[in-house]
Amino acid sequence: MTTTSEMLALFLEENFQEFLQSWRDRVVIAENDKYIEEVMKNGLQMFELVKRAIRNPLSDDEIKVLAQKVAQERVEANTNISEFVFNVNAGRSEIIKWVGSSGIRIEDLRPYLEEINGVFDRFSYYAVRFYTEIKEQQLKEKVNYIDQTHKERLTILGQMSSSFVHEFRNPLTSIIGFTKLLKYDYPELPYLDVMSHELDQLNYRISQFLHVSRKEIIESKKEKFLVFSLLGELIEFLYPSLVDGDVQVKSHLDSQVYIKGNKEELRQVFLNLIMNSIDALQQVKGNRKITISCTFENDEIHIKVANNGPEISAETVEAIFEPFYTTKELGTGIGLYICRKLVEKHEGSIVCTSSPEETAFTVTIPAAKEEQKTGMLL
Ligand SMILES: Nc1ncnc2c1ncn2[C@@H]1O[C@H](COP(=O)(O)OP(=O)(O)OP(=O)(O)O)[C@@H](O)[C@H]1O
Ligand SMILES: [Mg+2]
């Protein structure tokens, strides 16, 4: 006597051609899908799996093999996974329809219907899972590739700019020297101060590039100096730009706080911060203010450069420290990137906070306690 499962499997085999035709009529597939033939073959394999499941429950491993193959093909065909899900469901409903017309009593069919549904559910689950995994992997590889080529370009750019900088620096140094000599020989000659100042600005700009290219290679020389004098000198240096930009500077500096670090590098940091503030303040009308303060707390020195200019949105706050992020027509976008690198080189940190009233950059640098004490005694 044949069992229900055998009867059902035989019934499906006998009507196999018609079943396949009605499934094919429903399948959604692009004409240019390079796996169009495989889709039909996969349908057949799925049909085989269903027949086997009716005779003997299937293990996950048996289903996974086909799911893996289909997932790979769907990725390579570069189609949307929704077509695949639609076609699987079309196959499921066709089979259920055919099984229902087998003449076998519905009570006897029930466990087999469950088994068939189970095969389809597991197949869809694994195929979509593998498909997503492959896609994610591809995306990761793409991002890695982009990162890598971007890094390589940055390296080349760095090498180019550092040799470029050297070529520039030598003639610049001699022009600065000769301007000083001229001033010495002809103290009354007009425009020399303006020229000297502009040349110094140019020199700072160029040094900025040098900081990027050599930062890790050369261990910078550290010395102990007063924060007060560094910032005082900078404000004096920037005086023409402050007047030009119509900006007032207020500084609250403890005249006794010493810092140990590379003066050149820290000068570059605060120069960038103050220059950025002057630039940002050009967007406001009147009452342009920069406030510089310095505090010494818990063995740390906090130097804050704040201005009452435009607010930087929370999403942009991190981006501004990335290289080449700029909103300025002639900006290079490396100012804050260098600031962060140089501050980190001093084992410190730099944080930006911004509100409609105030945008501030706070540099925190650790200071050894005894150094402050000896400093104070000097
Ligand atoms: N004080 C500030 N207020 C508002 N926005 C600022 C301020 N400082 C920096 N930014 C924003 O951060 C961006 C990046 O600053 P960064 O100093 O890195 O580059 P840049 O000033 O644009 O160019 P570069 O300094 O290389 O000439 C600026 O273009 C600006 O949009
Ligand atoms: Mg800048």
Q: How far is the CA of 362 from the centre of ligand 1 (A)?
A: 15
* Predicted pLDDT of residue 113: 92
**Nearest ligand, CA 316:** 1
Ligand 1 pocket test, candidate residues 304, 320, 351, most atoms within 8 A of CB: 320
Q: Name the fold adopted by 153-213.
A: Helix Hairpins (1.10.287)
* Predicted pLDDT of residue 301: 93
Asked whether the beta carbons of 306 and 247 are under 8 A apart, the reply is: no
Which residues in 12-36 are b (16+ Cβ under 10 Å) and which e? beeeeeebbeebeeeeebeeebebe
Q: Please check the confidence at residue 370 and state whether its pLDDT lies above 70.
A: no
The DSSP string of 189-235 is -TTHHHHHHHHHHHHHHHHHHHHHHHTTTSPPP-EEEEHHHHHHHHH
Reported as a pLDDT band with limits 50, 70 and 90, residue 264 is confident
Q: Please check the confidence at residue 1 and state whether its pLDDT lies above 60.
A: no
Q: pLDDT tens for residues 169-228? A: 778 888 988 998 999 999 999 899 889 888 988 888 787 777 666 544 456 688 888 898
**Domain-by-domain residue ranges, the chain?**
4-145, 153-213, 221-377
Ligand 1 within 6 A of CB of 124: no
Reported as a pLDDT band with limits 50, 70 and 90, residue 89 is very high
**Nearest ligand, CA 327:** 1
Going by CATH, does the domain composed of 4-145 fall within 1.10.490.70? yes
Query: Which residue shows structure tokens 């590039």?
Result: 209
Q: Which of 150-154, 238-242, 327-331, 367-371 has the lowest mean pLDDT?
A: 367-371
- For ligand 1, atom 4: residue with the closest CA: 280
* Predicted pLDDT of residue 373: 47
Q: pLDDT tens for residues 312-359? A: 999 899 899 988 889 988 788 888 988 998 999 899 999 999 999 999
* Predicted pLDDT of residue 177: 87
Ion ligand 2 contact residues with beta carbon within 5 A: 276, 335
Q: Which of 1-5, 71-75, 122-126, 253-257 has the lowest mean pLDDT?
A: 1-5
Q: Please check the confidence at residue 101 and state whether its pLDDT lies above 50.
A: yes
* Predicted pLDDT of residue 218: 53
pTM: 0.58
CATH number of 221-377: 3.30.565.10
Tally of residues, the chain: 378
Q: How far is the CA of 343 from the centre of ligand 1 (A)?
A: 17
Q: Do domains 4-145 and 221-377 have the same CATH topology?
A: no
